[in-house]
Structure 1
Amino acid sequence: MIEVEGLTFRYGAGEPAVRGVGFSVGAGEIFGFLGPSGAGKSTTQKVLIGLLRPYEGDVRVLGQDLRSYGPEYYERIGVGFELPNHFVKLSAIENLRFFASFYRSAADPMDLLARVGLEERATQRVEGFSKGMTMRLNFVRALLHDPDVLFLDEPTSGLDPANARALKDMVVEQRERGKCIVLTTHNMLDADELCDRVAFLVDGRVERLGTPAELKADVEERAVRVEYRDGGAVASATFGLDGLGGDERFLALLRERDIVSVHSQEQTLEDVFLTATGRRLS
């Protein structure tokens, strides 16, 4: 669905914001771009949605060179921007109906508003919406015309857990329908939960690329942490996972102490990112 090779882009005469980036994304796949601010994530996405030209390298979307597309490209892709730009003097339903008029066919806006809990706010002006409400409206606007490819930039930003869960379920639903989804985010928990593969982008380059499980396995700490009561306090001890069944100190702890919890020490994607790049996300 998306094939990128040697993508390089610079703003003016400065240093490239994106340097030789390459990746591909298939049908029914969620691909995540992860990295700190200024890493080149948004620049890469803006090239892919046709907002930044000219660029160096080869980019093909849906089997066609990106440079060869005209306005028909926007019938095939949907975009959820990090900073939603709505017509705030219009209501939610008026915004969606206006954007629906751009496409040859579109879904029922009221159905989409109901899916994200905005049905009762449909006739309310957007100027009175919270950030989370504008993000939900922004998300369903990207789905209006049932695009083949979705570009989502920080889609759960500003959402409470319940609304974030509903939106993520809709993203997974789109994947199950065979859509290609590119997710740009700082949120490692979202990326770990949703993405089939992720790319760590640092200083305009892809430093690591793989499934979340593969990336975490590369630096996995094979250990368990045991918390137990020691007098009036809670103490802890960590044991290597290999040979744990024969570790006498571990077995003695289980026999002799009041155990509070036992946890395997999995790495998070953020841990992996820090190990792989030496950089923090913020």
Structure 2
Amino acid sequence: MSVIKVDELKKSFGNEHALKGISFNVEKGEIFGLLGPSGSGKTTTIKVMTGEFNATGGHVEVNGTPQKHFGKTSYIKNLGILSDKSSLYERLTVKDNLELFQKLYNAPKNRVDEVLKEVGLESEKDKRVSKLSKGMKQRILLCKAVIHKPDILFLDEPTSALDPTTTEKIHDMLEALRDEGTTIMLTTHNMDEATRLCSNVAFLHEGVIRDHGTPADLRHKYKKNEIHLTHEDGQVETIERNQENEGRIKDAVSDKDIVDIRTDFPTLGEVFKKVTGKELV
């Protein structure tokens, strides 16, 4: 069942066309990745679906609610949102911050301790937010977004510029939420993150979806039927995988001069470059 339906969504700012008619669906309980570089339209898409922007054209429906009702409290209370505008009260402690939102969303009192444990910050709950590192603040912002166990979670670059350990903790938390039935809409330019987390992804570039599918399907779609043999001196020999080269491929397995054998199976980032002709920056 699709809980997010986007059909020919357009958004313009004056003469600038940020979204030029994009369409996609997100199924209940999946992590969907909207992937692309800065300026591609990812954040604009999120802001339309969370009621911050009105669409210029097209149709958007989230959890059965059409866009004209996105500003209503009854809609917002079932969402979790982590965006570039998410913030915390710097002078309050971590616990005080989260208790404010726990009460606002009428979540159980024990949720504060639960979410802090999930991100590994239960020992920091009495610290002022102003004393926390950037990575810690990002984890607390995620706690704030999920404290009420929302039906749908919108995440705009949730691990941008974070260290690998912090990123790993956030990934673990998102996978746990997904397993509990939360639908997650994720924007990122981190293709390794998308490969790990997302059931389906869409490549957004210059306001247009260039291709979409599962990460595995997209990687298979754009692979070449080639094998790369790396020699001991660093030279790479590329041969086409066909019957004519069958003998060379078999010989390479036992050739001591060959230190690495691999097929052309591109990463998601390499696929994005093939699709758009652009680096992901």
- TM-score calculated relative to the size of structure 1: 0.91
Q: Which of 131, 135, 143 is the matching residue for 1:132?
A: 135
* Partner deviation per Cα, 1:17-76 (whole Å, 9 max, x = no partner): 111111111101111111111111100000001111254221111112121241111221
Partner of 2:113: 110
**Structure 1 SS opposite 2:104:** coil
Q: Conserved in 2, the CA contact under 8 Å of 1:224 and 1:241?
A: yes
Cα distance in 1 for partners of 2:186, 2:243 equals: 39
Q: How far, CA to CA, are the matches of 1:176 and 1:183 in structure 2?
A: 16
Aligned to 1:241: 241
Q: Secondary structure at the match of 1:158?
A: coil
Corresponding residue of 2:89:
87
Contact 1:82 1:155 (C-alpha < 8 Å) held by counterparts: no
Aligned identity (percent) is 36
1:188 & 1:256 partners in 2: Cα distance?
34
SS in 2 for 1:19: strand
Q: Which runs of 5+ in 2 are unaligned?
A: none
1:157 equivalent to 2:160? Answer yes
Give the C-alpha shift of residue 6 in structure 1.
1.7
| One-letter amino acid of the structure 2 residue matched with residue 185 of structure 1 | T
Check the 8 A contact 1:4/1:58 in 2, yes or no: yes
Q: Which residue of 1 aligns with 2:7?
A: 5
Worse-matched range after superposition: 124-133 or 40-49: 124-133
| Alpha-carbon distance in 1 for matches of 2:84, 2:265 | 30
Contact 2:65 2:75 in 1 (8 A): no
**For residue 59 of structure 1, what is the aligned residue in structure 2?**
60
| Residue aligned with 1:247, SS | helix
Checking the alignment, whether the CA contact within 8 Å between 1:216 and 1:267 is kept in structure 2 is yes
Unaligned runs of 5+ in 1: none
Aligned to 1:226: 229
CA contact (8 A) 1:33 1:184 kept: yes
User: Residue 263 of structure 1 corresponds to which residue in structure 2?
Assistant: 262
Give the letter for the 1:158 counterpart. Answer: A
Distance across 1 between alignment mates of 2:24 and 2:163: 32
Q: CA deviation at 1:234?
A: 4.2
1:159 CA displacement: 2.9
User: Which of 215, 221, 231 is residue 218 of structure 2 equivalent to?
Assistant: 215
* Pair 1:54–1:34, CA change in 2 (3 A): closer
